[in-house]
Amino acid sequence: MKLRNIAIIAHVDHGKTTLVDRLLQQSGAFRDNQRVAERVMDSNDLEKERGITIMAKATSIAWKETRINIVDTPGHADFGGEVERILSMVDGAIVLVDASEGPMPQTKFVVGKALKIGLKPIVAVNKVDKPDARITEVVNEVFDLFAALDATDEQLDFPILYGSAKQGWMADSPDGPQEGMAPLFDLVLKHVPAPRIEEGGFRMLGTLLEANPYLGRLVTGRVFAGSVKPNQAVKVLDRKGNVVEQGRVSKILAFRGIERTPIDEAEAGDIVAIAGLEKFNVADTLCAPEVVEPLQAQPIDPPTLSMTFSVNDSPLAGTEGDKVTSRVIRARLYKEAEGNVALRIEDSPGSDSYIVSGRGELQLAILIETMRREGFELSVSRPKVVFQKAEDGKTLLEPIEEVVIDVDEEHSGVVVQKMAERKAEMIEMRPSGGNRLRLVFHAPTRGLIGYQGELLTDTRGTAIMNRLFHEYAPWKGEIAGRRNGVLISNDNGESVAYAMWKLEDRGPMMIEPGWKVYRGMIVGEHTRENDLEINVLKGKQLTNIRAAGKDEAVRLTPPIRMTLERALAYIEDDELVEVTPKSIRLRKLFLDPNDRKRATRAKETA
């Protein structure tokens, strides 16, 4: 069969996975009576819960005697590493744009990468049925974006389709006809070139990695030259051309709809998954024994945030999880780094902790959430930015992000004020329709840690914030952190409702009655700037006197609910988040108050 390889790229929530659903349905990949889940490509539990794509995934459909391999990609900038890798597998890209939001930061980031390596884009304006759609302006914005990203004349002459992935149609004009996805299929066949096949022996570049319980390590990639059959002798070369291992291919799986089917031979141009090699990694080249030159992998942007993952050493350690030792935590982190090229793991000197660097808070929070669901217990520190030194070796550089905030006009003042406090510089302010403004800032990553929750509070949940790494720039100076201190438990035990009720004037609580607490654990937020030790274990003094009005009913204010992302954004440098399969607790780094005082004095004298 003839082949076409395409990626679907867009900003988060612009409808990539829904579009893939419709393409699969209308190409006959499902039986007429087959029950299919919504967003069938989002197979991971966390993807289903959050409604976002985290891992890039491949599928394929047959249309008019041509097999079209489609790669669905994540939309969040935190998972940009997934998108950067898969662009080398494809020859064209469908750039999906929301008809009201227009091209957003992640669209810009991925399109820039796609144009740089010469992919031919097709622009699909999605959600044209929205009441606030502004189709002509969006098409002009896309053209301006392509021009700003130095697209060639051929790339600027891109074809445009309009439609609604949810309703299942695409057409040459926004008014229809609404006759399904056939125009998009036909345009892919006409506009996207057939895969370029290189001369020489078998060569394949690994781009996606997964562990299969029956087949072991599975690496998905595109065959650039030659062909491969099961049981064929092959070798793995790393980026520098060193031989990593030699072995045999045990199984070749091709994508057929959402299923993977074993095949007898994979030919150049096709995207397949190969099993049988233990050390074959992402960005490595699988090749015939006579090949000596590896394929060039796309460079990946560096991580901008780092966190310290350490063994949980609290008094409640080991009571809720079964994977608690530094050895199993280390093995799990290094296994994650093999498949996720945007992560970097380093051993921290002198203790049972590891420095994990990634693209953003969401990426690291997803990793922690995945680990706690697997039964791990660990402590994690506040996210810190990854600094770099300038070429002169003296100037300290920090990551700057481009932040786009869509907000109602009435709330724009407080957003501009808060961003200014965080050393952000406003670049642009323009109306985006419906009494809303689009504010564009360049802000240091340090200042944005924990701002998402505050932004939603300030704007009553109406603002939408999108971030994207912009550049490394000189350090912007000190940024004020959290203004309130915390309430710390002064003993081990179970919290008592009466004690918590008496302490309510000290500040809102983060725990409920009956919860296990320990000395040094954070149980609430103080109304003032200093930290305060309190006793949440003290019961009511019982006497034999009964009088009217003596027994007041205990009515507690509901506690602050700490999700994992909120906890990571809330803590300061001298605090940790204790993560177990059942609980998320906040604690001080030093549980003993004397150790805390000593550390504070040492910091002041330094």
Residues marked as binding? 13-18, 126-129
Residue appearing with tokens 């050493």: 313
- Residues 573-589: b if buried by 16+ CB within 10 A, e if exposed: eebbbbbbeebbbbbbb
**Cβ 282 vs Cβ 208: under 8 Å:** yes
Binding residues for GTP: 13-18, 126-129
Spatial CB neighbours of 349, under 8 Å, sequence gap ≥ 6: none
> Closest by alpha carbon to 503, among 495, 492, 493?
495
Residue 131 CB neighbours (<10 A): 6
The structure tokens listed for 469 are: 């790494």
Contact (Cβ atoms closer than 8 angstroms) between residue 251 and residue 288: no
Question: For residues 439 and 206, what is the distance between their CA atoms, to the nearest angstrom?
Answer: 40
Whole-angstrom distance, CA of residue 77 vs CA of residue 359: 8
Q: At what angle do helices 16-26 and 182-191 cross, to 10 degrees?
A: 100
Token output for 249: 């291919």
Beta bridge partners, 123, equal: 95, 160
**The pair of three-digit structure tokens given for residue 442, joined into one six-digit string:** 């360049």
Of 520, 483, 517, residue with least CA distance to 500:
517
Pick the closest to residue 71 from 233, 207, 274 (CA basis): 207
Instruction: Find the angle CA(70)-CA(366)-CA(589) to the nearest 5 degrees.
Output: 160
